[in-house]
C-alpha cells in the first residue's frame, strides 16, 4: 500500500479532528485507511476545501460504504445519487422552508441508525447555523453511578411509522404522539458497544416520542430527561461554525448532533448524506 497523503490533526480534547486532504480528488486505499482510523479514534473528521460536486460527494461516500435509499429532498432532479439531500433555505420555491426539528439532539434515521453522516457546506450564515455534536462514548463513561444502574439492560423505543411495505419511516412533521406507551416503534439498547473499538456508548436516538419500555410513562420521562440533561453538558460537545466548502464526516452511532439557530433572513445551504452501512466504519 502506498503512503497516505492525509494528515490528521486531533482536537485537544480528542473528540474530533481536522484532516488535511484534497477531498475533490479520489481517495487512495491508504487515505481511506488513514481517515477510517481517525474516524474510529476521534468520532468525527473535518475537511477544508471541500468544494464538492454531487458526483464527487458520492465518490467519497462510496469509498467507505453504501449509499442510503433516495428519500427526502434530493440534491438532484434524478435518483442517480441516492440519499444525497439538500438542507437549505436558499431555493425556497424548490425545496421549501427549513425544518426546526434539527434544533434538538438526534441521530440520523434514529429508529434504524445509519453508520455515518456527512454534511458539506455550500452557503453559510456569518452568525449562527452551527452544527453541534456530542460525544456519546464519553457521555457513557461519565454517567453517575445511579444513572448507569438505572439504564442497565434497558431499551429505548424510537418512534416511527411503518409503510405498506413494512419498512420503518420517520413520522412527518415532528408531531407529538398522544400515547407513547402503546405507540409503534423500534426498540434499541440504550447502552451499546462500538464495533472495531469496543467502547461502550449511550444510544438515545431522538427525544420526541421516545419511551423506555417496562417503566411507567412518568418514570420513563424522568429517566429520559436525566439522560438528555447529562449529554447537554458543554464539555461533552463540539460546536462547529461553518465556512463555505467544509465537509464533516461523523459517526452517527456515537455522536448525536443538532443545528443551532440562525437569523431567518440569513441563507444556509448544505448537502447532507450518510454512509448507510460499512464493513470498515
Based on the domain organization, do 143 and 227 belong to the same domain? yes
Considering the domain architecture, whether residues 268 and 219 belong to the same structural domain is answered as: no
Do 216 and 176 share a domain, yes or no? Answer: yes
Pairing relationship of beta strands 17-20 and 237-240 according to DSSP bridges: unpaired
Quick count: other Cβ atoms within 10 Å of Cβ 265? 7
Considering the domain architecture, whether residues 121 and 246 belong to the same structural domain is answered as: yes
Residues 40 and 120 in one domain: yes
pLDDT for position 112: 85
The reported pLDDT for the residue numbered 144 is: 98
| Nearest CA-CA partner of 132 in 170, 90, 102, 98 | 102
pLDDT at 96: 39
Q: How far apart are CA 50 and CA 164, in angstroms?
A: 39
Check residue 86 and give its pLDDT: 81
SS3 118: strand
pLDDT for residue 178: 84
Are 32 and 119 contained in the same domain? yes
Question: Look-up: residue for cell 438526534?
Answer: 106
Does one domain contain both 227 and 259?
Answer: no
Output the pTM of the full model.
0.92
The number of beta carbons lying within 10 Å of the beta carbon of residue 94 is: 10
252 and 121 in a common domain: yes
212 and 251 inside one domain: no
The answer to the question of residue 281 being in a domain is no
Domain assignment present for residue 188? The answer is yes
- Secondary structure string (H, E, C) spanning 134-187: EEHHHHHHCCCHHHHHHHCCCEEEEECEECCCCCEECCHHHCCCCCCCCCCEEE
Beta strand 17-20 pairing with 44-47: parallel
- 45, containing H or E segment: strand 44-47
Give me the pLDDT at residue 248, please: 98
Predicted local confidence at residue 101, as pLDDT: 56
pLDDT at residue 88, as a whole number: 77
Query: Is residue 158 in a domain?
Result: yes
Domain of 83, CATH number, reads: 3.60.130.10
280 occurs within a structural domain: no
d(CA 12, CA 177): 42
User: Is residue 190 situated within a structural domain?
Assistant: yes
Residue segments in the chain with a per-residue pLDDT below the cut of 50: 72-75, 77-78, 93-98
Looking at residue 93, what is its pLDDT? 43
**Could you give the number of structural domains in the chain?**
2
| Domain contains 248 | yes
Query: Would residue 168 count as lying in a domain?
Result: yes
Residue 27: per-residue pLDDT: 94
CB 90 within 8 A of CB 123: yes
List, as own/partner pairs, every contact residues 58-61 make where C-beta atoms lie below 8 angstroms and the sequence separation is at least 24, other chains included: 58/84, 58/273, 59/26, 60/23, 60/27, 60/118, 60/247, 61/118, 61/273, 61/274, 61/275
150 lies in the same domain as 209: yes
> Residues 45, 154: one domain?
no
In a domain? residue 103: no
Same-domain pairing of 147 and 80: no
Domain span at residue 39 reads 7-93+115-125+241-275
Domain boundary among 231, 252, 267: 231
- pLDDT for the residue numbered 172: 72
Amino acid at each position: 500500500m502506498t503512503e497516505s497523503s492525509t494528515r490528521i490533526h486531533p482536537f485537544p480534547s480528542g473528540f474530533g479532528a481536522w484532516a488535511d486532504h484534497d477531498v475533490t480528488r479520489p481517495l487512495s486505499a491508504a487515505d481511506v485507511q488513514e481517515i477510517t482510523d481517525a474516524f474510529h479514534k476521534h468520532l468525527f473528521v473535518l475537511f477544508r476545501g471541500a468544494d464538492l460536486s454531487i458526483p464527487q460527494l458520492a465518490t467519497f461516500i462510496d469509498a467507505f460504504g453504501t449509499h442510503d435509499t433516495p428519500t427526502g429532498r434530493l440534491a438532484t432532479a434524478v435518483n442517480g445519487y441516492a440519499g444525497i439531500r439538500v438542507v437549505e433555505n436558499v431555493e425556497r420555491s424548490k425545496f421549501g422552508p427549513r425544518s426546526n426539528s434539527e434544533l434538538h439532539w438526534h441521530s440520523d434515521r434514529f429508529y434504524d441508525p445509519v453508520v455515518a453522516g456527512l454534511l458539506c457546506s455550500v452557503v453559510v450564515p456569518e452568525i449562527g447555523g452551527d452544527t453541534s455534536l456530542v460525544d456519546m462514548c464519553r457521555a457513557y463513561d461519565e454517567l453517575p453511578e445511579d444513572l448507569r444502574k438505572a439504564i442497565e439492560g434497558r431499551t429505548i423505543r424510537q418512534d416511527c411509522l411503518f409503510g405498506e411495505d413494512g419498512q420503518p419511516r420517520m413520522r412527518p412533521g415532528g408531531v407529538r404522539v398522544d400515547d407513547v406507551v402503546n405507540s409503534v416503534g423500534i426498540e434499541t439498547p440504550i447502552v451499546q458497544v462500538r464495533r472495531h473499538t469496543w467502547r461502550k456508548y449511550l444510544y438515545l436516538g431522538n427525544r420526541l416520542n421516545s419511551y423506555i419500555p417496562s417503566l411507567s410513562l412518568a418514570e420513563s420521562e424522568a429517566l429520559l430527561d436525566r439522560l438528555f440533561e447529562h449529554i447537554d453538558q458543554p464539555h461533552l460537545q463540539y460546536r462547529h461554525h461553518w465556512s463555505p466548502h467544509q465537509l464533516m464526516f461523523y459517526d452517527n452511532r456515537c455522536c448525536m448532533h443538532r443545528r443551532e439557530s440562525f437569523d431567518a433572513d440569513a441563507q444556509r445551504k448544505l448537502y447532507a448524506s450518510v454512509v448507510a452501512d460499512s464493513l470498515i466504519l
